[in-house]
Amino acid sequence: MLDLAARAIQARMSNRHVDATRLEAELDVMRMTLEHERAKRELKGRLAEILEFAAQHQRDPRVAEVVKELRARFVAMQTVHELRHKAECAARKLDAERHAVEAAREEHERLRDAAERRFNELEREIERLRDHGERIIEEREDDEDEDEDEDEGERRDKAEL
């Protein structure tokens, strides 16, 4: 149980909320089971007291009838207690799964938004680099045109000489 608690704390601190939620649900179910077992022991203790009283007064038919009714109620209480425990554990697990799904959905949305932002940043960077490349090409072409004009001017000057 302590290991499970440590894993739940570690998951929560690591922002693994889905895992943490599931581990916390397991801890709750363990706690609920321990409480259930304690309550069962108490019920069995009460039944033992009743049976002891009945053994002391076994000749009295009224006591036998009351004991019979109490045993029936005890069995019913035990059944209800078992069913309630199972229902509470199932509800807690379902609640944990619901929270885990919600946490996973939020994480998915967060990651999708981050990916979209990064994609937009990369698109802007690509556009910036494309513009920069086009400027460099234009400057080179302008430089080449100037060089050709200078070469042509020098050839004319040499031809005139």
Q: Is 151 inside any structural domain?
A: no
With respect to residue 39, please indicate whether it lies within any of the assigned structural domains: yes
Report residues of the chain scoring pLDDT below 50. none
Going by C-alpha positions, the residue among 9, 26, 152, 17 that lies closest to residue 89 is 26
> Alpha-carbon distance 26 to 93, whole Å?
8
- Whether 40 maps to a domain, the answer reads yes
Answer yes or no: is 41 within a domain.
yes
Whole-model pTM over 0.75: no
Q: How many structural domains compose the chain?
A: 1
Mean pLDDT of the chain: 84
Residue 68 lies inside a defined structural domain of this protein: yes
Give domain status of residue 35, yes or no. yes
pLDDT at 15: 75
CA-CA distance, 96 to 82, in Å (whole number)?
21
Instruction: Give the whole-angstrom CA distance, residue 94 versus residue 66.
Output: 41
**122 falls within a domain:** no
Domain assignment of residue 65, given as a range: 2-117
What is the pLDDT at residue 161? 64
